[in-house]
Amino acid sequence: MNTYKTESKRERALLISSQIRKASSLKNTKESLSELENLATSAGTIPIKKFYQMLNKPVRTYVGSGKLLEIKHHIKKLRINVCIFDDELNPNTQKELENILEVKVIDRTALILDIFSDRAQTHEGKLQVQLAQSEYLMPRLAGQWSHLERLGGGVGTRGPGETQIETDRRLVREKIKSVKNSLKKIERNRTSQRRKRMNNNIINFSLVGYTNSGKSLLFNSLVKTKILSKDQLFSTLDTTTRKLFLNENISSTVSDTVGFINKLPTILVESFKSTLEEAINADILLHVIDYSNENFIEKINTVDKILNDLGLSKVPKILIKNKIDILNFTPGEIVLDRSYISQIETSAKLGDGLDKLRHLLIKASETIINERDYIYV
């Protein structure tokens, strides 16, 4: 059940972003739009042209009517198949925009869901994406009438006295329930494995951070293994945990987790909570940033906000400023809150700073072990 799937012939897309002037700067809007362009390419469309508008207050059609006319003109001129909007649209707005523009309209959430559904590898990952997709679909069912009628409207599926929409809603609700049950089973299993690790007095580190910051490459260098690290958004969705050797006195593990992004759909964060629990149970979070990206401060804030939403505001963090090999500006000082115990510069690519990082992890582990001893005696 895909919310949005690119046809085999690649679709030509217009990208549209609007922001409220008070809440966002022009620089942020442009950054968000170029991120949307990355997402659109990852999803297999061809971004043709970008539009943005700074608004004084929100408008019902996401951008003003003048802008819509301009966009409509370009849809014809540039043979556009799809318009992609940079925020989650409410179902009515989406329908209204489709009526006005006479072309397929999708939003940032659908796009991200589509990429996740492409990338999901494991049974659990696939279930988590299905859950998010079903929840996204639920309030939009009225608009998807014809689509679902074909899908679920076969003989015998409709209950007595149900309209088609009610049947569709029921089918999706049932799907959500069954996926949630399957996920619960997987989660119970993982919890018991994790409990074993906790009992053995193991220190757990989790790599967290923006997508494409270098988490997987760092993970590979730390545990000398090879999981997919690629210049691509969300190349790894599943959490991988491995033993990490620091020294004879410390047993530790490190986990690589799914990356975050600005305006990451809440339903996705919710669905991925069980995978992210690996991070939730970390003793220390290793927050990796792409230090060569000029907008790293905004990205640190985005990640911290998601971590806080997951209830992780109190877990100690180390900031890993990665990709220093391609840094070509002088970064300003980073002011961090008290959850950060340290920061360090690395190049996962060249191996710079990794010895220092190991040393830092040893120090941090020793502190935690001492605290635990203190609690247990």
Ligand X SMILES: Nc1nc2c(ncn2[C@@H]2O[C@H](COP(=O)(O)OP(=O)(O)O)[C@@H](O)[C@H]2O)c(=O)[nH]1
Instruction: List binders of ligand X among 348-367 (CB under 6 A).
Output: 348-349
Question: Residue-wise over 38-64: b if at least 16 C-beta within 10 A, else e?
Answer: ebbebbbbebbebbbbebeeeeeebbe
Of the candidate residues 93, 221, 236, 322, the single one contacting Mg ion (CB under 5 A)? 236
- For CA atoms 110, 217, 278, 120, give the dihedral sign: positive
Q: Which does 17 bind (CB under 5 to 8 A by kind): ligand X, Mg ion, none?
A: none
CB atoms within 10 A of CB 355: 9
- Residues 271, 274, 279, CA angle at the centre, nearest 5°? 120
- Establish if 213 lies at the interface with ligand X (CB under 6 A): yes
Residue 230 or 359 having the CB closest to ligand X: 230
Instruction: List binders of Mg ion among 156-215 (CB under 5 A).
Output: 215
Torsion-angle region of 228 (φ positive above 0: left; ψ -120 to 50: alpha; else: beta): beta
Closest residue by beta carbon to Mg ion: 216
Residue 229 or 274 having the CB closest to ligand X: 229
Instruction: List binders of ligand X among 216-235 (CB under 6 A).
Output: 216-217, 229-231, 235
Give least dist CB 58 to ligand X, A. Answer: 32
Give least dist CB 239 to Mg ion, A. Answer: 10
The secondary structure of the chain in percent helix, strand, coil, rounded to multiples of 5, reads: 50, 20, 35
Residue 167 or 216 having the CB closest to ligand X: 216
Give least dist CB 70 to ligand X, A. Answer: 36
Q: What is the DSSP letter of 335?
A: P
Q: Which of 319, 266, 315 is nearest to 289 (CA)?
A: 319
The span of 47-55, 78-86, 318-326, 354-362 binding ligand X (CB under 6 A) equals 318-326
Residue 178 or 301 having the CB closest to ligand X: 301
Question: Distance (Å, rounded) from C-alpha 187 to C-alpha 246?
Answer: 29
Question: Distance (Å, rounded) from C-alpha 40 to C-alpha 194?
Answer: 37
> From residue 353, how far is each of 244, 269, 348, 358 by CA, in Å?
17, 31, 8, 9
> From residue 209, how far is each of 155, 218, 241 by CA, in Å?
48, 12, 16
Question: Distance (Å, rounded) from C-alpha 266 to C-alpha 225?
Answer: 32
Of the candidate residues 303, 323, 353, 365, the single one contacting ligand X (CB under 6 A)? 323
Give least dist CB 234 to Mg ion, A. Answer: 8
Instruction: List binders of ligand X among 256-285 (CB under 6 A).
Output: 259
Give least dist CB 112 to ligand X, A. Answer: 14
Give least dist CB 187 to Mg ion, A. Answer: 22
- Residues 144, 148, 153, CA angle at the centre, nearest 5°? 145
Of the candidate residues 42, 117, 236, 293, the single one contacting ligand X (CB under 6 A)? 236
Residue 180 or 230 having the CB closest to Mg ion: 230
Q: Which does 253 bind (CB under 5 to 8 A by kind): ligand X, Mg ion, none?
A: none
Of the candidate residues 63, 347, 361, 364, the single one contacting ligand X (CB under 6 A)? 347
Residues 6+ away with beta carbon under 8 Å from 96? 60, 61
The span of 40-48, 144-152, 212-220, 304-312 binding ligand X (CB under 6 A) equals 212-220
Contact, 200 vs 283, CB < 8 A?
Answer: no
Give least dist CB 323 to ligand X, A. Answer: 4
The token pair at 195 is 């409990």
Q: Which does 217 bind (CB under 5 to 8 A by kind): Mg ion, ligand X, none?
A: ligand X
The span of 68-76, 193-201, 235-243, 334-342 binding Mg ion (CB under 5 A) equals 235-243
Contact, 85 vs 97, CB < 8 A?
Answer: yes
Where on the chain is the footprint of Mg ion (CB under 5 A)? 215-216, 236
Q: Interface with ligand X by CB under 6 A: which residues?
A: 209, 211-217, 229-231, 235-236, 259, 322-323, 325-326, 347-349
